[in-house]
């Protein structure tokens, strides 16, 4: 039986809850409708989160994203709605959603919304040198 869109976000237990680690997802085919014109809006979503006790199950995320296809939403509202729904389902330590909407009327719209677990502070960032730039000039390609 074919899948259908759904607003249900399923989760599974975080396999490493003692560690802060980032999950990065690219969702290049998000669509919803302009609430003013009914025309389709297209966006590339980038989801980054640091899980606490739960991670999002990918098929449910796909069906959830699909559920917006025939709904009218302003860019700002739908981005924040997705963050709120994911935060409610996952209760992550940190979550950021970047929505890059494609051009409409000569304007690109990017909306970034975040959620932080109260009291959570990110560990200090470690900067690593890229491998190629660490090689001597005569060895680089």
Q: In what order do the strands lie in the sheet with 40-50?
A: 23-33, 40-50, 94-104, 107-116
Would you call 51 helix, strand, or coil by DSSP? coil
Contacts of 79 (CB under 8 A, 6+ apart): 97, 99, 111, 112, 113
**In angstroms, rounded to a whole number, what is the distance separating the alpha carbons of residues 108 and 75?**
11
Active site residue ranges: 34, 41
On the 0-12 / 13-18 / 19+ scale of CB atoms within 10 A, 1 is exposed
């Amino acid at each position: 039986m074919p899948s259908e869109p759904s607003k249900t976000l399923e989760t599974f237990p975080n396999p490493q809850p003692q560690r802060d680690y980032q999950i990065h997802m690219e969702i290049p085919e998000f669509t919803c409708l302009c609430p003013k014109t009914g025309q389709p809006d297209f966006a590339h979503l980038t989801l980054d989160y640091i899980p606490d006790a739960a991670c999002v199950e990918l098929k449910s995320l796909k069906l959830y994203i699909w559920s917006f296809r025939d709904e009218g939403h302003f860019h700002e509202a739908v981005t924040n709605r997705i963050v709120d729904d994911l935060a409610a389902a996952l209760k992550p330590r940190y979550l950021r959603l970047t929505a890059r909407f494609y051009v409409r009327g000569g304007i690109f719209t990017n909306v970034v919304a975040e959620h932080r677990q109260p009291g959570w502070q990110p560990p200090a960032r470690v900067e690593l040198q890229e491998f190629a730039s660490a090689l001597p000039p005569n060895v680089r390609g």
